[in-house]
C-alpha cells in the first residue's frame, strides 16, 4: 500500500516538474524542474525496490544520482556561459538554432 | 508510520509547487532542499536508508550548493530581484514545511523500533554485491559519464575573454 | 627458393605504394630507383625461382603457395594463393623481364615529364596486377588481376589527361574491354554455380567429368570466357580500342598494349584449355576470330600514317596468329609466338619510341625518312624487330614461331585448308607493312632531322631486346631444321601436345616452310618495290580512286568505329536524350516532395528548448497511451 502511494507521489512530482519545465522561461528554473523530475524517477525506483525487497531500485537511484551530478555540472556551466554572452537567462532568447 | 509517509509526501508536494512557482531563485532553491529532505525521509520509510543518506548528502548538499554558487555568480541580476522579494512573509512557507519534517523525524527517533536492523544490513550488503557484480558495467559507464562531466564543466565554466567572443 | 614466389608480385606493389604515397617528395633519381628497382628485383627473384623450378622440374611440375584466405562464405572459399607451373613461369618471366627493360627505358624516355612519379607508380601497379593475373590459383584472383590491368591500362592511356582526346581514348579502351570483362564475369558465375569451385585446376577436372564434349553449358561458358579474352586481346569484334590506346606514352604501348596485357586473352584460353577442349565449336570460333583479325588488322596496318598505330594494328594481327594457333589446338605454338612476339614487339615499340623521342614527338611516318644514318643503332634494332615480325627465315625468332603456327594450321585435324591460306596471306601482308615502316622511316630523303640521339638507358633495352628477338627462336626448331623441342617439352606438362593428321611427314613440313618463307620474302620484296623508290608506286596506287577509298576504309579500321557509333552509341544517346526528360521529371518531383516536406518539418524546429521538451513529453504520452491500449 505504501509503495503504491509512493508511486502515486512519484508521478505527481514528475508532473509538477514537467509543468515547471514547460512553464518557466528562466533557464535556472528549468534546471530545477529537471531535478524534480529526476527525483520523481528515483522515488519510483526506490518504491519498486522496496516493494520487491531488492537492491536494484537503490542501484538505479545511484545511477540517477551520478547522472544528475554530471548533468548539473555541465548544465550550470552552460547557464554561466549563456548569461555571460546574452546577459539574460530567458530560454526563449536562445533560439538561434531554429530550422 | 503510514501517517509519517503521507505528511512527508504532503511536504514534498507543497515544497515542489513552491519551487516551480517561486520567482526568487534562492528561495526556490531552499524549497527544493526542503522537498529533497522530505523525499529522503520517504526513502527511509521505504527501507532505503542508504539512498536516503545519499539524497541528503549529495542532492540536498552538493548539487544544491552548486546551484547556489551559480545563482551567486550570476551577480547583480539576481541581487536586485532579491532585494525586492526579501519580505518576512517569504520565510513562512519554508519554515512551516521544515517544522513539519522536524516533527516527523523527531517522532521517528522517539519511536525508534520501526525497522528491524538485520533487514537493513542484508539490504545494504545486497546492494554492494549487486553494484559490483551484475551492475559493474553500469559503474564503469557512470565513471565514464562523470569524467566528461568534469571536463565539460571545467571548459564551459571558464569566463570567456572579450577578444575571443 | 620457391618460397620467394610471393615476393614477385609484392615488390612492384610496394614500389607502387611508396611512389603513390611519397613520390611527390622524391627526386627524379629516387623515383627512377624505386620504380625500376622494384621491377628489377622482382625479375631477379623470378630468375632465382625459375632456376629452382627448373632444377626440380620434371619431377615436380607445379608449385602452390597460399598466402591467406581472401573470401570465406558458406560454400565458397577463395584464397590469395599463387600457382606456379611452366605456363605461369613463362608469363612471369616475360612480364618481369621485359617489364624491367621497359622501366629502364622509361627512366630516360619520360625524364622530361611532370608526372614522373605518377608514371612509375602506375607502371608498378600494372606489373603487380599482371603478375596477379598470371600467378592466380583461382579464377576470382585472376579476375582481380584482369580488372587491375584494365584499370592501369585506362590510367596510362589517359596519362596525359589534359588532352581531351587522350582521355576519350582511355575511356574507349576501358568501356570496350569492359564488355568482354562483363561476359567473363558472367562466365565465372556460371562456372561457380555449376561446379561450386573457382580453383582453376579443380574447375577444369570437374568440368571434364561433369560435362560431355560439346554440351551446352560448356559451350556457353567457353563463349563467355572467349568474349573476355577477345576484349582484352583486342580481337574482332572488340578490337576497336587498341589503335586509340596508342595515346599513352610509348613505353606503356610497349609494355601493356604489345608485350603483356593484350596477351592476357591468349593466356586465359591456354590456361583454360581443358574447358575449351570440351567445346570444339568455340575452339573453331577462336581460330576464325584469330584469322579474321590478323587479316583485317594487317590491311589496316598497311595504310596508317602514325608509326604507333601501324604497330598497334600489327600487334592485333600478331595476336590474331596466337588465337589462330589456340583455335587449331597448337597451344604451345601460340605460347611460343607469344614469347617471340613479346620480345620483338616490345623492341619495335621501344625503337619507335626512340625515333619519336629524337624527332621531338613526331609520329607521322610521312614526315620521317632517311633516319638510317642519323640513328644507326635505332635503325638496326628496328630492322631486327621488323625482320622478326615478318619472319625473315632462319635467323629471326618470328620465323620459327610463325612457321610452327602455319605448320600446325596445315597439319592439325582441327584446322581447315582455308585457314592455312588466310594465315599465309597474313605473312605476306606482315612483310609488306613491316618493311613499309622501315622504308618510310629509315630510307629515302630526310624530312625531319633528329635533335639528339637516345642515351644509354634507352639503348641498352633496345640492344638486349634485339638480342632476344633473334635468339629466343632457337628454343624450338622444326623437324626439318635441327629438330629441337626445348619449348614444347617445357610446356608439355601443362598443355597437351599438338595433334597432327597422319601422313604429315617432314617433306610436307618442308614444303609448308618454303611456302611461308616465299610469302614473307614476297611481302618484303613488294614493300621494297612499292615504297623504296623516290616516286613510289604506293603513292600512285593511293592516288587512284579505288586506292583512295580503300585506304580511307582501311585507315579507319574497316569502319568498325563508325558502325558501332551508328548502331550502338548514337541510338543509345538518342534514347537517353528522349527518355531523359520524362525520367528527370519523375526524379524532380521526388526532390520537390522532399523539399516541401522538409519545409513543413523544419517549422517544428523553433529553437525554443521548452517546445522541444514539450514534444518529448507528448511523444512519451502517446507511447504510454499505446501501451495502455
pLDDT of residue B165: 45
pTM beyond 0.95: no
Residues of chain A neighbouring B32 (CB-CB closer than 8 A):
32, 35-36
Cβ–Cβ contact A15 with B under 8 A: no
Residues of chain A neighbouring C618 (CB-CB closer than 8 A):
none
Work out the burial of residue C20: count CB atoms within 10 Å of its CB; fewer than 13 is exposed, 13-18 middle, 19 or more buried: middle
DSSP class per residue in A44-79: HHHHHHHHHT-SHHHHHHHHHHHHHHHHHHHHHHHH
pLDDT of residue C27: 86
Cβ contact B16–A2 (<8 Å): no
Nearest Cα of chain C lies from the Cα of A18 at a distance, in angstroms, of 8
**Between A and B, how many residue pairs show a Cβ–Cβ distance under 8 A?**
170
Nearest Cα of chain A lies from the Cα of B159 at a distance, in angstroms, of 7
Cβ contact C609–A96 (<8 Å): no
Preceding peptide of B107 cis, ω within 30°? no
Cβ–Cβ contact C613 with A under 8 A: yes
Q: Which three cell numbers stand for residue C477?
A: 626448331
DSSP annotation of C502 reads T
The answer to whether A50 and B129 have CB atoms below 8 angstroms apart is: no
Buried b / exposed e across C62-101, counting CB within 10 Å, b at 16+? bbebeeeeeeeeeeeebbbbbbbbbbbbbbbbbbbbbbbb
Work out the burial of residue C337: count CB atoms within 10 Å of its CB; fewer than 13 is exposed, 13-18 middle, 19 or more buried: buried
- Compute the distance between CA of residue C524 and CA of residue C610 in angstroms, rounded to an integer: 94
Probe site for chain B from A59, A60, A64 (most B CB atoms < 10 A)? A59
List C-alpha distances in Å: C603 to A91, A95, C592: 19, 13, 17
Nearest Cα of chain A lies from the Cα of C607 at a distance, in angstroms, of 4
Collapse the DSSP code of C375 into the 3-class scheme (helix H, G, I; strand E, B; otherwise coil) and give the result.
coil
- Compute the distance between CA of residue B60 and CA of residue C380 in angstroms, rounded to an integer: 101
Handedness of CA A37, A42, A48, A50 (dihedral sign): negative
Beta bridge partners of A90: A26
B/A Cβ contact: 3+ pairs below 8 Å: yes
Cβ contact C610–A22 (<8 Å): yes
Is 80 exceeded by the pLDDT of residue B150? yes
Cβ contact C606–A94 (<8 Å): no
- Pick from C301, C321, C289, C292: nearest CA to C246: C301
Residue located via cell numbers 585457314 = C419
Q: Which three cell numbers stand for residue B67?
A: 546551484
Residue in A with minimal Cα distance to C615: A22
Q: Which residues contact C256 (CB under 8 A, 6 or more apart)?
A: C126, C149, C152, C153, C156, C248, C262
Summarised one tens digit per residue, pLDDT across range A29-79 is 888 989 999 999 999 999 888 888 888 888 999 999 999 999 998 998 888
Cβ contact A5–B9 (<8 Å): yes
pLDDT of residue C17: 92
- Pick from C250, C431, C422, C402: nearest CA to C338: C402
The answer to whether B15 and B34 have CB atoms below 8 angstroms apart is: yes
The answer to whether C176 and C154 have CB atoms below 8 angstroms apart is: no
pLDDT of residue B118: 44
pLDDT of residue B101: 66
Cβ contact B70–A74 (<8 Å): no
Q: Which three cell numbers stand for residue C53?
A: 623450378
Collapse the DSSP code of C611 into the 3-class scheme (helix H, G, I; strand E, B; otherwise coil) and give the result.
helix
The answer to whether C103 and C126 have CB atoms below 8 angstroms apart is: no
**pLDDT < 50 regions, chain C:** none
- Compute the distance between CA of residue C143 and CA of residue C185 in angstroms, rounded to an integer: 8
User: In terms of DSSP bridges, do strands C484-485 and C476-477 run parallel, antiparallel, or are they unpaired?
Assistant: antiparallel
C614-C619-C624 Cα angle (round to 5): 125
Cβ–Cβ contact C615 with A under 8 A: no
DSSP class per residue in C279-344: -HHHHHHHHHHHHHHHHHHHHHHHH--BHHHHHHHHHHHHHHHHHHHHHTT-HHHHHHHHHHHHHH
Handedness of CA C13, C14, C17, C20 (dihedral sign): negative
Centroid of chain to Cα C402: 19
Is 80 exceeded by the pLDDT of residue B83? no
**What is the pLDDT confidence band of residue B117, given thresholds at 50, 70 and 90?**
very low
Of A31, A46, A67, the CB nearest to B51: A46
Q: Would you say how long chain C is, in residues?
A: 629
- Compute the distance between CA of residue A63 and CA of residue B54 in angstroms, rounded to an integer: 12
Measured from the Cβ of residue C580, the count of other Cβ atoms closer than 10 Å reads: 10
pLDDT of residue C146: 92
Which H/E stretch holds residue C100? Answer: helix C86-109
- Pick from C240, C231, C297, C311: nearest CA to C268: C231
- Compute the distance between CA of residue B44 and CA of residue B1 in angstroms, rounded to an integer: 11
- Pick from C315, C176, C156: nearest CA to C247: C156
Cβ contact A22–C617 (<8 Å): yes
pLDDT of residue B88: 62
Buried b / exposed e across B6-44, counting CB within 10 Å, b at 16+? ebbbebbbbbbebbbebebbbbbbbbbbbbbbbbbbbbb
Q: What percent of chain B shows pLDDT beyond 70? A: 68
Measured from the Cβ of residue C243, the count of other Cβ atoms closer than 10 Å reads: 29
List C-alpha distances in Å: C21 to A14, C27, C29: 60, 14, 17
Cβ–Cβ contact C605 with A under 8 A: yes
pLDDT of residue B75: 65
Cβ contact B67–A76 (<8 Å): yes
* CA-derived radius of gyration, chain A: 16
Centroid of chain to Cα B129: 26
Cβ contact A81–B152 (<8 Å): no
- Compute the distance between CA of residue C266 and CA of residue C421 in angstroms, rounded to an integer: 22
List C-alpha distances in Å: C44 to C10, C145, C272, C463: 13, 22, 29, 19
**What is the pLDDT confidence band of residue B86, given thresholds at 50, 70 and 90?**
low
- Compute the distance between CA of residue B129 and CA of residue B135 in angstroms, rounded to an integer: 9
Cβ–Cβ contact A64 with B under 8 A: no
Cβ contact A95–C613 (<8 Å): no
Measured from the Cβ of residue C575, the count of other Cβ atoms closer than 10 Å reads: 10
Centroid of chain to Cα C411: 29
Q: Which three cell numbers stand for residue C106?
A: 622509361
Residues of chain C neighbouring A22 (CB-CB closer than 8 A):
610, 613-614, 617
List C-alpha distances in Å: C397 to A4, A42, C88, C344, C484: 102, 93, 21, 8, 14
Amino acid at each position: 500500500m505504501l509503495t503504491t502511494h509512493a508511486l502515486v507521489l512519484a508521478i505527481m512530482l514528475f508532473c509538477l516538474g514537467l509543468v515547471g519545465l514547460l512553464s518557466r522561461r528562466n533557464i535556472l528554473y528549468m534546471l530545477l524542474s529537471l531535478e524534480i523530475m529526476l527525483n520523481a524517477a528515483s522515488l519510483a525506483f526506490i518504491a519498486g525496490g522496496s516493494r520487491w525487497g531488492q537492491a536494484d531500485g537503490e542501484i538505479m537511484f545511484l545511477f540517477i544520482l551520478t547522472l544528475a551530478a554530471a548533468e548539473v555540472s555541465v548544465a550550470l556551466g552552460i547557464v554561466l556561459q549563456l548569461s555571460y554572452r546574452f546577459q539574460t537567462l530567458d530560454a526563449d532568447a536562445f533560439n538561434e538554432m531554429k530550422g | 508510520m503510514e501517517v509519517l509517509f503521507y505528511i512527508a509526501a504532503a511536504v514534498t508536494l507543497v515544497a515542489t509547487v513552491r519551487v516551480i512557482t517561486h520567482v526568487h531563485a534562492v528561495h526556490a532553491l531552499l524549497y527544493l532542499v526542503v522537498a529533497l529532505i522530505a523525499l529522503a525521509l520517504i526513502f527511509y520509510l521505504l527501507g532505503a536508508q542508504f539512498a536516503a543518506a545519499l539524497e541528503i548528502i549529495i542532492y540536498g548538499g552538493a548539487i544544491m550548493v552548486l546551484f547556489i554558487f551559480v545563482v551567486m555568480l550570476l551577480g547583480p541580476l539576481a541581487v536586485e530581484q532579491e532585494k525586492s522579494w526579501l519580505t518576512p512573509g517569504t520565510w513562512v512557507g519554508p519554515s512551516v514545511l521544515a517544522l513539519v519534517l522536524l516533527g516527523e523525524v523527531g517522532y521517528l527517533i522517539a519511536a525508534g523500533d520501526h525497522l528491524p536492523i538485520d533487514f537493513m544490513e542484508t539490504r545494504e550488503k545486497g546492494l554492494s554485491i549487486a553494484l559490483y557484480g551484475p551492475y559493474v558495467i553500469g559503474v564503469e559507464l557512470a565513471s565514464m559519464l562523470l569524467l566528461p562531466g568534469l571536463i565539460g564543466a571545467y571548459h564551459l565554466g571558464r569566463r570567456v575573454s572579450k577578444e575571443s567572443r | 627458393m620457391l618460397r620467394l614466389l610471393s615476393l614477385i608480385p609484392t615488390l612492384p606493389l610496394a614500389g607502387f605504394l611508396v611512389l603513390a604515397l611519397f613520390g611527390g617528395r622524391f627526386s627524379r633519381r629516387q623515383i627512377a630507383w624505386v620504380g625500376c628497382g622494384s621491377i628489377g628485383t622482382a625479375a631477379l627473384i623470378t630468375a632465382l625461382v625459375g632456376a629452382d623450378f627448373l632444377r626440380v622440374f620434371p619431377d615436380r611440375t607445379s608449385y602452390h603457395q597460399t598466402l591467406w584466405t581472401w573470401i570465406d562464405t558458406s560454400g565458397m572459399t577463395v584464397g590469395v594463393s599463387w600457382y606456379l607451373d611452366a605456363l605461369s613461369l613463362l608469363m612471369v618471366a616475360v612480364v618481369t623481364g621485359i617489364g624491367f627493360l621497359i622501366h629502364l627505358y622509361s627512366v630516360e624516355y619520360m625524364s622530361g615529364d611532370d608526372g614522373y612519379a605518377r608514371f612509375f607508380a602506375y607502371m608498378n601497379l600494372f606489373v603487380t596486377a599482371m603478375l596477379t593475373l598470371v600467378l592466380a590459383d583461382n579464377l576470382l584472383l585472376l579476375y582481380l588481376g584482369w580488372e587491375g590491368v584494365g584499370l592501369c591500362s585506362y590510367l596510362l592511356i589517359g596519362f596525359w589527361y589534359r588532352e581531351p582526346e587522350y582521355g576519350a581514348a582511355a575511356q574507349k579502351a576501358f568501356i570496350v574491354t569492359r564488355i568482354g570483362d562483363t561476359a567473363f564475369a558472367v562466365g565465372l558465375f556460371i562456372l561457380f554455380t555449376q561446379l561450386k569451385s573457382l580453383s582453376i585446376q579443380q574447375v577444369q577436372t570437374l568440368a571434364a567429368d561433369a560435362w560431355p564434349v560439346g554440351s551446352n553449358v560448356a559451350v556457353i561458358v567457353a563463349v563467355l570466357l572467349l568474349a573476355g579474352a577477345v576484349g582484352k586481346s583486342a580481337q574482332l569484334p572488340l578490337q576497336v580500342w587498341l589503335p586509340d590506346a596508342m595515346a599513352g606514352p610509348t613505353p606503356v604501348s610497349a609494355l601493356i598494349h604489345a608485350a603483356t596485357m593484350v596477351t592476357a586473352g591468349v593466356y586465359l584460353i591456354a590456361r583454360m584449355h581443358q574447358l575449351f577442349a570440351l567445346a570444339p565449336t568455340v575452339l573453331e570460333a577462336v581460330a576464325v576470330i584469330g584469322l579474321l583479325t590478323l587479316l583485317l588488322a594487317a590491311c589496316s596496318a598497311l595504310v596508317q600514317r602514325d608509326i604507333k598505330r601501324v604497330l598497334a594494328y600489327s600487334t592485333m594481327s600478331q595476336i590474331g596468329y596466337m588465337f589462330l594457333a589456340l583455335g587449331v589446338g597448337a597451344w604451345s605454338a601460340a605460347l611460343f609466338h607469344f614469347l617471340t612476339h613479346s620480345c620483338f614487339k616490345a623492341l619495335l615499340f621501344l625503337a619507335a619510341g626512340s625515333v619519336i623521342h629524337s624527332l621531338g614527338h613526331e609520329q607521322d611516318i610521312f614526315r620521317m625518312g632517311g633516319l638510317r644514318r642519323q640513328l644507326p643503332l635505332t635503325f638496326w634494332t628496328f630492322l631486327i624487330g621488323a625482320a622478326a615480325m615478318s619472319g625473315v627465315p632462319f635467323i629471326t625468332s618470328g620465323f620459327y614461331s610463325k612457321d610452327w603456327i602455319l605448320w600446325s594450321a596445315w597439319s592439325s585435324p582441327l584446322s581447315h585448308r582455308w585457314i592455312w591460306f588466310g594465315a599465309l596471306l597474313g605473312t605476306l601482308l606482315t612483310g609488306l607493312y613491316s618493311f613499309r615502316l622501315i622504308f618510310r622511316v629509315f630510307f629515302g630523303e630526310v624530312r625531319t632531322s633528329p635533335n639528339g640521339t637516345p642515351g644509354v638507358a634507352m639503348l641498352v633495352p633496345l640492344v638486349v631486346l634485339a638480342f632476344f628477338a633473334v635468339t629466343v627462336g632457337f628454343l624450338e626448331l622444326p623437324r626439318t631444321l635441327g629438330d629441337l623441342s626445348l619449348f614444347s617439352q617445357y610446356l608439355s606438362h601443362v598443355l597437351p601436345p599438338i595433334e597432327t593428321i597422319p601422313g604429315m611427314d617432314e617433306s610436307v613440313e618442308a614444303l609448308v616452310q618454303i611456302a611461308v618463307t616465299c610469302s614473307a620474302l614476297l611481302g618484303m620484296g613488294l614493300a621494297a618495290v612499292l615504297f623504296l623508290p623516290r616516286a613510289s608506286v604506293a603513292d600512285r596506287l593511293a592516288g587512284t580512286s579505288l586506292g583512295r577509298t580503300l585506304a580511307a576504309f582501311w585507315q579507319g579500321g574497316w569502319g568498325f568505329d563508325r558502325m558501332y557509333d551508328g548502331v550502338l552509341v548514337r541510338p543509345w544517346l538518342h534514347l537517353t536524350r528522349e527518355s531523359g526528360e520524362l525520367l528527370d521529371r519523375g526524379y524532380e518531383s521526388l526532390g520537390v516532395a522532399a523539399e516541401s516536406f522538409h519545409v513543413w518539418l523544419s517549422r517544428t524546429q523553433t529553437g525554443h528548448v521548452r517546445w522541444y521538451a514539450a514534444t518529448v513529453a507528448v511523444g512519451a504520452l502517446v507511447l504510454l497511451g499505446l501501451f495502455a491500449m
